Amino acid sequence: MTAPSRVELALARAAVGSACAGALLGSLAAGVYGEPGAGGAVAVGAFALAGGLAWLRSIAVAERATWRTQEAVHTRNTETLARALATVHESHALDAAMARETPNGLLVLDASGRVLRANPALFRLLPVRDTPNGRRPIETIPVPELQDAVDETARTRQSAERAASVDGRDLVLRALPLEDAEGCMGVVLDVTSVRAAEKARRDFVANVSHELRTPVTAILGWAEALAQERDDLPPHVHDMVDAIDRNARRLGLLIEDVLQLSRIEARRADLPVEVEALGSLVDEVVARHASRAEQQGIELRVEVGEELEAEVNAEAFEHALGNLVDNALKYTARGGCVVVGAEARGEGVDVWVKDTGIGIAGVHHPRIFERFYRVDAGRDRAVGGTGLGLALVKHLCRAMRADVLLESEPGKGSTFTIRLPARHTNVTRRP
């Protein structure tokens, strides 16, 4: 039954009042004046009174049912709200516990770059001189690498990472943009034990590689001596001498790549960069591969503007780009084309090597820059690959604060892009 309206309640009360008045007047007429028709008035009044009271009783029942329904709804709403508040409180308590107990330092900054909150681990990992809230990180935390990472993220809205050594600890400082706000979050990771393990591995690899250099050099020397006396050797020995020379050279290249990778990984800081004219650097790299491209029947061309400049470490850049050109020539068939190009991208520069070779399936893209990862092991050995070329490219790019990207499909060639970072005003220009 629906709840009665205010008009219905007023009509009910008026009807009851009229019925009572009719009954009262009828009684008076019958008793006082003795009118013969007064009995009928009494009957009519009594009937009206009974009807009005019945209507009121039904309205009261409806009102009582409506009140009970509203009370039940209110109770359910109250219980739902209480459960929601309990869930929110539990979630906030869990978030607070995670931020409090994590071994990683955390700080949240607003859109203006000022600290809103920092967790206890930050105070253990960094030399915080005063309360950082409401200040820029550098004002209370004398670690410029942290401020650099935060400033870069605020400017680009991309994650940034820096390495620092503080009080004998190796730290990784990361800044991440907040998805639902204009500020960012700083994360401080203590990687001292990880760095120690990596150093032990690098030292072992470097020592073994150095020890292998001497016997490999001797093998190469004897193989060359035998090759010079080829006419005096029995015909069935020729293939053996060629195999010794070929595999010794490949082993020598592998040792050199391992040593180079160890030197890059052992660095304590990013490589120094200078503003360089990319056209001349690219020309030098292409010139070293021009004769090989001609022998293989592959077109090798350059598409770089003469005025294009970028911040690079010249030696590292030439090494990385040379590895990419070398790879492109290895996996491009005769009659194909390899293009080395560059173009400005905002404040940074993209340098790419594009080929018309066999291409790389997407399943291999996430691991293509891992050391010793091979898409086709048999083919890689046939073309003389060591499995470290692209790993070297990745580490050299990281040392210059650059990225390396891959776009490729089987049968459609590959494009490797070195994405150089935005230029800074405090970087020197090479004369």
Confidence of residue 236 (pLDDT cuts 50, 70, 90): confident
Identify the three-state secondary structure at position 355. Answer: strand
Confidence of residue 67 (pLDDT cuts 50, 70, 90): low
Confidence of residue 426 (pLDDT cuts 50, 70, 90): very low
Identify the three-state secondary structure at position 303. Answer: strand
- Please tell me the distance from the alpha carbon of residue 327 to that of residue 285, in angstroms, as a whole number: 13
pLDDT tens-place string over residues 207-224: 887 788 888 888 888 888
Confidence of residue 34 (pLDDT cuts 50, 70, 90): very low
Q: Which of 247, 275, 290 is nearest to 426 (CA)?
A: 275
**What is the full DSSP assignment across 69-126?**
HHHHHHHHHHHHHHHHHHHHHHHHHHHHHHHHH-SSEEEEE-TTS-EEEE-HHHHHHS
Q: Give residues with Cβ within 8 angstroms of 322, minimum separation 6.
A: 285, 288, 289
Mean pLDDT of 245-262: 82
Q: 68 or 170: which carries more pLDDT confidence?
A: 170
Confidence of residue 317 (pLDDT cuts 50, 70, 90): very high
Q: What is the pLDDT of residue 30?
A: 45
Cβ 200 vs Cβ 220: under 8 Å: no
Mean pLDDT of 110-117: 88
- Which residue type sits at 130? D
Mean pLDDT of 80-109: 68
Q: What is the DSSP letter of 369?
A: T
> In this model, does residue 23 exceed pLDDT 50?
no
> In this model, does residue 409 exceed pLDDT 70?
yes
Q: Give residues with Cβ within 8 angstroms of 130, minimum separation 6.
A: 140
> In this model, does residue 128 exceed pLDDT 60?
yes
Class of residue 362 by CB neighbours under 10 A (exposed 0-12, middle 13-18, buried 19+): exposed
Q: 129 or 70: which carries more pLDDT confidence?
A: 129
pLDDT tens-place string over residues 341-390: 999 887 789 999 999 999 999 888 888 888 778 776 555 555 556 678 88
**What is the full DSSP assignment across 234-302?**
-HHHHHHHHHHHHHHHHHHHHHHHHHHHHHHHT-SSPPP-EEEEHHHHHHHHHHHHHHHHHHHT-EEEE
- Please tell me the distance from the alpha carbon of residue 152 to that of residue 168, in angstroms, as a whole number: 26
- Which residue type sits at 107? L
Mean pLDDT of 397-409: 90
Q: How far is CA 56 from CA 4, 12, 43, 70, 283, in A?
A: 10, 7, 20, 21, 102
Identify the three-state secondary structure at position 427. Answer: coil
Sign of the CA dihedral running 44, 45, 47, 52:
positive
Q: What is the pLDDT of residue 258?
A: 80
Q: Give residues with Cβ within 8 angstroms of 73, minimum separation 6.
A: none
Mean pLDDT of 109-134: 88
Q: What is the pLDDT of residue 332?
A: 92
> In this model, does residue 250 exceed pLDDT 90?
no
- Please tell me the distance from the alpha carbon of residue 228 to that of residue 223, in angstroms, as a whole number: 9
Q: What is the pLDDT of residue 37?
A: 47
pLDDT tens-place string over residues 35-57: 444 455 445 555 555 555 565 56
Confidence of residue 32 (pLDDT cuts 50, 70, 90): very low
Q: What is the pLDDT of residue 272?
A: 86
